[in-house]
Amino acid sequence: MQEWANQLCENRQFGSKMTDSKYFTTTKKGEIFELKAELNSDKKEKKKEAVKKVIASMTVGKDVSALFPDVVNCMQTDNLELKKLVYLYLMNYAKSQPDMAIMAVNTFVKDCEDPNPLIRALAVRTMGCIRVDKITEYLCEPLRKCLKDEDPYVRKTAAVCVAKLHDINAQLVEDQGFLDTLKDLISDSNPMVVANAVAALSEIAESHPNSNLLDLNPQTINKLLTALNECTEWGQIFILDCLANYTPRDDRESQSICERVTPRLSHANSAVVLSAVKVLMKFMEMLPKDLDYYGTLLKKLAPPLVTLLSAEPELQYVALRNINLIVQRRPEILKHEMKVFFVKYNDPIYVKLEKLDIMIRLASQANIAQVLAELKEYATEVDVDFVRKAVRAIGRCAIKVEQSAERCVSTLLDLIQTKVNYVVQEAIVVIKDIFRKYPNKYESVIATLCENLDSLDEPEARAAMIWIVGEYAERIDNADELLESFLEGFHDESTQVQLQLLTAIVKLFLKKPTETQELVQQVLSLATQDSDNPDLRDRGYIYWRLLSTDPVAAKEVVLAEKPLISEETDLIEPTLLEELICHIGTLASVYHKPPSAFVEGSRGVQHKRLPGSAGSGESAESPDTGSAAGATEAPPAVIPSQGDLLGDLLNLDLTPPTTTGPPPPTSSGMQMGAMDLLGGGLDSLVGLLFERSCRMGAGFGAAPAVMPASFNAPVGGGLDDLFDLGGGVGLPMGAYNPPKTIWLPAMKAKGLEITGVFVRRAGVIQMEMTLNNKAMSVMTDFAIQFNRNSFGLAPAGPLQILTPLGPNQSIEAALPLSTVGPVMKMEPLNNLQVAVKNNIDVFYFSCQYPISMLFVEDGKMERQVFLATWKDIPNDNEAQFQIKDCHLNSDAASNKLQSSNIFTIAKRTVEGQDMLYQSMKLTNGIWVLAELRVQTGNPNYTISLKCRAPEVCQCVFQNYEAVLKN
């Protein structure tokens, strides 16, 4: 489309005396025949009019490919305007008519030797845009001549053509030596040729990150800097981006380059300015900070950045996103420019929010009074999102600048008095952070906060208020009543509030044990028995266990002194910031994400570093969230120590320990409450829980007449109780294999029908196919190929069909597969595109493989690693599904799943509901963890899946459903 736009703009120079809009207004039908006649007319003017009509039809989306031979015949002309139009048509339709496009090759070759340089350049530009393999080899000789043409306009066009040809056929470009010619063009006398050669080499280097195409050295850099002053603005951007990839030898060379790049800061094009800033930010790393020039450079960087903020809002936003990165790396550049970031009344919301962020980053003791006055003003605006951010900003100022904390708290209290609901809620959230930063300093405001308890309806604000009540329970007389009021709607609260409420009530119990036994009993029961959330249950069990074994230890753990929160909690991680600084002026600097996070395929995934800190440590590779294969990192083997809370949870047996001697002595005030609680509360809860388990167990076999030994075992020996594999998880039965399905119908493949199925046997994935010949001719010479796919599936060898396949005959074939092929994310993830060739033709089809084909035999995770990994994977990566109409008990389900390499790590029963904890590992190293809940008498199972690559979960669920229902 860009090429069309360029061509059409150039055509305006030769434009007709009358407007060309008339070509777009016709609604006549059946005009293809008329156009064909006009294109073959002897009159040049009539022929040109016809080509214009064809181009107009093509532009509005009509299919005029039928006119291809007639339009190509019009190429033989001296009229430059007509030639441009024909070339435009060729670019669009050559791919759909490759055989016809060969007709145009002779004209291209001839035009590349035309005395007019415009025609030579036009020919070579069009050649680069025709992406047809059949004709690329014919274009090599004309391109070689144009790369050495006497006219710089032709040479610069040919340089870009090399990059386009490389994209079509990289091997051809390397064999023909075009890359060496391109490198020679960097020394060209014309600056635009140099800029285009740099742009072409950079483009090729991006798709081949390991090739050393741009071998930058001081001599080359000098040539680029010389060309920088004379080429167009886009040429300057290409050269500056290339300079940013160079690492100077020492600080003197770095200073020399900075001095020659600095004039670009005053350029009118904002893209040139940002590219220059990128180069200077990178090379500044190598300058000593005590150097006079370093201070001068800092002063020179501020004005161009400020100037960018006077542009239209969209450009302002891009500039602000880049400034945000620069300020995090070097706040001293803009420390005296706070006022330019003050919000204007007519700024769009996205500009306002970005300015606010930068204001906080620049806030210091010197300007805090000015900043606070602004923020208080913003908090009375009408835009809700902006007001929320302004209130949060006041809290961030208090945390960042200690001297301003008191003034910030006072400002927040004034805002709470306005009784505006969303303002009050944001204020409470930030006051919680201020309490964390300055303990025992501003707690006098708690009474004011409690007055607004009823107005809180947002999860974050409710959670913050609950934290404050729990943390300072000893200072609030009615803390138990306040927390009890939240407990009434416990199941309607968000997970964030539930977790905070559980912790707050346990804190309250540890501070006031005699008054709050029933309350803590109630919340532990709600969290462990009535909740479906694994995180909430886990935390409930941890507290339960702590309180029931050693209340003193519980007090030390739960009421431990908390670390002070950091000043800036939203700073970009340093290695990522370094990479983003190297990408200033690109999309990465606007998204604040590395290119590998949003660019598909191999391009743009080189991780760049600032020179001074390149050796400071390896960057964590950003996983490509758009690719299943990108998330192949192995789960961290977080194995908790025996005394660790997480590890202790694994030993949980849901009963208090039975001891023969007296309980260990504890502090008198604590002992009374704890023993009361355990005697009348948790014991009875556990007893009830056990009785229910026994009753429910009758459906699976004889209920135990006495309490099992594990319930009387010491605390440390309860591992077999919670994670017991001996209770019925038997030997695996035969693996489930789905029936063969039709992959390629005979009517779509000239009589060849293929049915097939994927199986995994002894660790080998196979594609088992039946090929059926429903045609009248014999089929031979079979071959098969896969397109790139999500998990790198590829044939491990050729398709072995050694005998001809006669009419009405069928043959079985088994194709072993490997998982080391090229990877590309498919939709759906388990989609496989296949090409099958025989003596008749090539046929294409797509099929979906069950993801269990990729589950490896060593996918059984260690129990402790399982629990630690479950905790380590973010909650956002958890997916929950229902499997309906399944009538297996948990043991039978476990056996069936194990035959598909889904391994049960542990099993426990709570209130007649069996919970199976399972793991599976894919061939590319991705682990998937599962919790399968099976309720006696209920044909619907619930499954929760957690994985570092959440895209996999849907396929895994479908596999569970297929295995369990068949």
Average pLDDT estimate for 613-624: 37
Instruction: Give how far the C-alpha of residue 910 lies from the chain's centroid of Cα atoms, to the nearest Å.
Output: 38
Exposure string over 480-518, b if 16+ CB within 10 A, otherwise e:
bebbbebbeebeebeeebbbbbbbbbbbbbbbbbeebbe
- Sole residue written with tokens 């390991």: 210
For 245, which DSSP code?
T
Which has the higher per-residue pLDDT, 567 or 582?
A: 582
State the pLDDT at residue 567.
64
For 273, 304, 316, 374, 375, the CA distances from 307, given in Å and listed in that order, are 10, 5, 10, 22, 24
What pLDDT does residue 731 have?
A: 36
CB contact set of 751 (below 8 Å; sequence gap of 6+): 773, 774, 775, 776, 777
Instruction: Answer yes or no: is pLDDT of 153 > 60.
Output: yes
What is residue 167's predicted lDDT score, i.e. its pLDDT?
Answer: 84
pLDDT tens figures, 921-950: 998 888 999 999 888 778 888 899 999 888
Residue 521: how many CB atoms within 10 A of its CB?
21
User: pLDDT value at position 712?
Assistant: 35
pLDDT value, residue 209: 64
What mean pLDDT comes out for the span 402-417? 87
| Helix, strand, or coil (residue 818) | strand
- Cα–Cα distance, 779 to 752 (Å, whole number): 9
Mean pLDDT, rounded, for 547-561: 86
**Model confidence at 794, in pLDDT bands (50, 70, 90)?**
very high
Give pLDDT tens digits for 248-303.
Answer: 888 888 889 999 999 989 988 899 999 999 999 988 888 888 888 888 888 899 99
The DSSP symbol for 490 reads G
Residue entry with tokens 């709570």: 910
SS3 565: coil
CB 265 within 8 A of CB 273: yes
Is a pLDDT exceeding 80 seen at residue 747? yes
- Bridge partners of 833, per DSSP, are 846
pLDDT tens digits, 317-348: 999 999 999 999 888 888 888 889 999 888 89
Query: How far is residue 452 CA from its own chain's centroid?
Result: 39
pLDDT of residue 890: 84
Q: What DSSP assignment string belongs to 163-208?
A: HHHHHH-HHHHHHTTHHHHHHHHTT-SSHHHHHHHHHHHHHHHHHS
Mean pLDDT of the chain: 78
Quick one: what percent of the chain has pLDDT higher than 90? 16
Amino acid 834: pLDDT: 92
Please write the tens of the pLDDT for every residue from 529-541.
888 889 999 999 9
Cα radius of gyration (the chain):
36
Residue 659: pLDDT band with limits 50, 70, 90: very low
Q: Per residue in 100-129, pLDDT tens?
A: 777 777 777 888 888 888 888 888 888 778
Which stretch of 17-21, 569-573, 593-597, 647-651 has the lowest confidence by average pLDDT? 647-651
The predicted structure's pLDDT at residue 755: 94
- For residue 351, give both structure tokens: 């500009």
Provide the token pair at 579: 């990479």
**333/329 Cα distance (integer angstroms):** 10
The pLDDT of residue 337: 87
pLDDT at 136 over 80: no
Q: How confident is the model at residue 703 (pLDDT cuts 50, 70, 90)?
A: very low
Least Cα distance to 264 among 212, 301, 309 occurs for 301
| Residue whose token pair is 């059946």 | 30
Q: How far apart are CA 571 and CA 361, in angstroms?
A: 9
| Number of other residues whose CB lies within 10 A of the CB of residue 452 | 18
Alpha-carbon span 198 to 187, nearest angstrom = 11
DSSP string, 654-710: SSPPP-SSPPPP--HHHHHHHHHHIIIIIHHHHHHHHHHHHHHHTTTSPPPSS--HH
> What is the reported pLDDT for 696?
35
Alpha-carbon distance of 39 to 48, in angstroms, equals: 8
- Count of Cβ atoms closer than 10 Å to residue 43 Cβ: 10
**Helix/strand/coil for 774:** coil
Decide if 852 contacts 759 (C-beta within 8 A).
Answer: no
**Which pLDDT tens digit goes with each residue over 819-876?**
888 888 888 888 999 999 999 889 999 999 998 888 998 888 888 888 888 888 888 8
Residue closest to 964 by CA, chosen among 895, 907, 903, 881: 895
Q: Which residue has the higher pLDDT, 213 or 520?
A: 520
Residue-wise pLDDT for 567-578, tens only, equals: 666 678 888 888
Question: With 90 as the cut, is the pLDDT of residue 775 above it?
Answer: no
Q: For 160-186, how does the pLDDT look when each residue is reduced to its tens digit (9 = 90+)?
A: 988 888 888 888 888 888 888 888 888
Closest CA to 580 of 595, 598, 569, 601: 595
843: left (phi over 0), alpha (psi -120 to 50) or beta: beta
| 516 or 564: which leads in pLDDT | 516
Check: CB of residue 82 under 8 Å from CB of residue 74.
yes
* Sheet architecture: strand order including 903-910: 878-883, 941-947, 927-935, 913-921, 903-910
Per-residue pLDDT, averaged over 542-547, amounts to 90
* pLDDT at residue number 25: 58
CA 266 to chain centre: 36
Residues above pLDDT 70, as percent of the chain: 82
User: Which residues lie closer than 8 Å to 418 by C-beta, 6 or more apart?
Assistant: 380, 424
